[in-house]
Amino acid sequence: MRMKQLLTSFVVGASAAMAFSSALAADMTGAGATFPYPIYAKWAEAYKASTGNGLNYQSVGSGAGIKQIKAKTVDFGASDMPLKAEELDADGLMQFPAIMGGVVTVVNIDGIAPGALKLTGPVVADIYLGKITEWNNPAITALNPGVKLPATEITVVHRADGSGTSFLFTDYLSKVNPEFKTKIGAGTAVKWVTGVGGKGNDGVAANVQRIKGAIGYVEWAYAKKNKIAHTQLKNKDGNWMQPDDDNFKAAAAHAEWTKTPGFGVVLTDQAGKNSWPITGVSYILMHKQQADAAKGKEVIKFFDWAFKNGDAAAVELDYVPLPESVVKLVQGSWKSNLKDASGKALY
């Protein structure tokens, strides 16, 4: 209930910011990924209380966020799929990581408690390929001895919008199942062969809750907020994992930030005995040359404040804050990349 009130207050605040944008010139606008929306909402509430400056963040999916920042209709975009260096350069953009977290598979099966069902990546891929269609299929029962699984038809739920959560999910399935890689592949928007769509993490969560026998994928905070049964997943080292902060951190432990242009690290299917297999990074996109220097500075101030003051809130919502070493790299990228119209550094 607390999270619901928080998200509602953020939406109301965002509407107010739009209505009084002329009076609140310092308010920022952002759009994109739904994956980090709960933590951005909480940070925005605390930042407004601390500074008086607001954030109107539209949780519309990574694909829409990329389009909006390229069109310069927002001050920053957000995506859970990192853009490649060539695309960033072509559009005069820079990107930096803001937060890390995990994507989980969620199910609606009578009698199955949260975290009780075991699935592997290849089996999940076969479900999304339409090859496994009932919950008592031998491929699933073999992974769950002693668990009574019904002969209920499986309803696949996927994102209907361009989504970084979909990118992380499909990137993982493409790595562990060659047929999935060939027939569907990895991307923010793919051509699904079966199932029903939901808009945003909330839309997928709502469909899974509504449909008996459903399976879907959402960011971990949404699964917890909506009290949907998640599944265990077997990681690359062959260990059964439950999603939690430590397992997300384990997946990120060996990320090579300095060797990846634009910080574009993808953390799916990472090695390590405790690594959660669908861990992701959420990125912020900004234009290198800021036409509105005041807005550009305010965006940087917001994320700088979040890096220094927002770790406890992130952990409370089961996100993983960036390591201090990565924060310093991000701050360095602000200094070297973000300029006003005259070429003066904004940070």
pLDDT score of 26? 59
Give the CATH number for residue 80. Answer: 3.40.190.10
Both tokens assigned to 274: 């405790």
Query: What's the pLDDT band for 21 if we cut at 50, 70, 90?
Result: very low
| pLDDT at 209 exceeding the cut of 50 | yes
Same domain, residue pair 139 and 238: yes
CA angle, 327 as apex, 270 and 188 as ends, to 5°? 50
The domain boundary, picked from 231, 263, 295, lies at: 263
Say if residue 143 is in the same domain as residue 181: yes
Q: Is the pLDDT of residue 15 over 50?
A: no
217 plus 244 within the same structural domain: yes
Nearest to 128 by CA among 192, 189, 174: 192
Domain with 62, as residue range(s), is 2-99+280-340
Co-location of 141 and 197 in the same domain = yes
Verify that 67 and 119 share a domain, yes or no.
no
Kindly state whether residues 312 and 180 are assigned to the same domain.
Answer: no
For the chain, the domain total comes to 2
If one counts every other C-beta atom within 10 angstroms of the C-beta of residue 90, the result is: 11
**Is 333 within a domain?**
yes
Q: Which of 215, 238, 263 is the last residue of a domain?
A: 263
| 164 shares a domain with 54 | no
Q: Is 208 domain-assigned? A: yes
Both 144 and 9 in a single domain?
Answer: no
| 172 and 55 housed in the same domain | no
The whole-number pLDDT of residue 254 equals: 81
Instruction: Quick: pLDDT tens for 155-187.
Output: 999 999 999 999 999 999 999 999 999 999 999
Region 73-98 average pLDDT: 96
Q: Is the dihedral of CA 342, 343, 344, 346 positive or negative?
A: positive
Residue 270 lies in a domain: no
The secondary structure of 141-199 as a DSSP string is HTTSTT-----PBPEEEEESS--HHHHHHHHHHHHH-HHHHHHT-SSSS---SS-EEES
Residues 174 and 233 placed together within one structural domain of the fold: yes
pLDDT digits (tens, 9 = 90+) for 237-259: 999 999 999 999 999 988 889 88
> Could you tell me if residue 250 is inside a domain?
yes
Are 130 and 149 contained in the same domain? yes
H or E stretch at 217: strand 214-219
Instruction: Tell me: do 234 and 119 sit in the same domain.
Output: yes
